[in-house]
Amino acid sequence: MIYTSPVTIISSILIFLFSIGFSVHSIYGHTEIKIGNYTIEAGWSNEPPLINNLNEVVIFISENDSPVRNAMKDLSVSINYGGINKKLNFLPSEDSAGKYLADIIPSNLGTYSLNLKGEIGTQTINNDIQIEEVEDTKKLTFPMVSESSSSLENIGKQITPIMKDLSDQIEETKEQVNSTKEIIQKMNNEDNSIKSEIERTNLLSYIATALSASAIILIASRGKVKKLRE
């Protein structure tokens, strides 16, 4: 049997506990504040929070270590970034009493904060809570996308709408050209129709003139014949 001194055992236990405590502290990034008898703890559901990734802001509210149900009834919570704020719609968690969640996709890197304003029970609340900083996805991305590939992808994204717009303009121009051709053809048809009508009218005029002349000649001839008979 191997004998281990109590000092060694105690030291090992302390080192183990210290290492666990340090790990939990470094991973668990929620912030806690106390207001009267209430304790409010806030942070991200998924940590570390990553830019452009769906996440949840989580708030846990307790009173003297007991979870507070329906705590959001008279409490408004907005998330702030660089002077811009957005009201969040918190819903109670189905798993834990006193825990409330709101979906959000953080679109910028950096520090976000929550503003809680209203009442919990009879306690007035108007406090800000800073939550963990949003980080770049490169921290967890594997394999990494090369900068050249990323640049080509960005160029492609920029060119695509330009090419589509150019294609649309070409199609629109084609439609305008076809429409113009139809109008010109219609005008030509109408012009030919007018010419035909004019030619028909002229022909009728010539015929009428000829008939009139023939009638005059005939009448004159009859007059002469009558005089000869007399």
Domain identity same for 103 and 150: no
Contact between 51 and 106 (Cβ < 8 Å): yes
What is the pLDDT, as a whole number, of residue 25? 36
What is the pLDDT, as a whole number, of residue 133? 95
Instruction: Report percent pLDDT > 70 for the chain.
Output: 78
- Interatomic CA distance for residues 55 and 112, integer angstroms: 13
Residue 217 pLDDT grade (very low, low, confident, very high; cuts 50, 70, 90): confident
182 assigned to some structural domain: yes
119 assigned to some structural domain: yes
Domain identity same for 86 and 186: no
Bridge pairing between strands 55-63 and 66-67: antiparallel
Residue 226 pLDDT grade (very low, low, confident, very high; cuts 50, 70, 90): low
Domain identity same for 108 and 188: no
Q: For residue range 59-89, what is the model confidence (pLDDT) as tens digits?
A: 999 999 999 999 999 999 999 999 999 999 9
**Helix/strand/coil for 2:** coil
The CATH number that applies at residue 59 is 2.60.40.10
**Helix/strand/coil for 110:** strand
Which of 88, 104, 137 is the last residue before a domain boundary? 137
Cα dihedral 34→36→38→40 (10° resolution)? -30
Q: For residue range 20-63, what is the model confidence (pLDDT) as tens digits?
A: 443 333 345 799 999 999 999 999 999 999 999 999 999 999 99
Domain identity same for 23 and 78: yes
- Interatomic CA distance for residues 119 and 122, integer angstroms: 6
Number of domains into which the chain is organized: 2
Say if residue 153's pLDDT is above 80. no
Domain identity same for 58 and 130: yes
Report how far Cα 48 is from the mean position of its chain's Cα atoms. Answer: 26
19 assigned to some structural domain: yes
Q: Which domain holds residue 204?
A: 145-230
Instruction: Report percent pLDDT > 90 for the chain.
Output: 47
Which of 92, 117, 137 is the last residue before a domain boundary? 137
Written as six digits, the tokens of 137 are 């996805």
Domain identity same for 11 and 124: yes
1 assigned to some structural domain: no
Q: For residue range 174-192, what is the model confidence (pLDDT) as tens digits?
A: 887 787 778 878 777 776 7
What is this structure's pTM?
0.53
Which of 119, 137, 155 is the last residue before a domain boundary? 137
β-sheet bridge partners, residue 104 = 55
Contacts of the segment 173-176: beta carbons below 8 A, 24+ positions apart: none
- Interatomic CA distance for residues 44 and 23, integer angstroms: 17
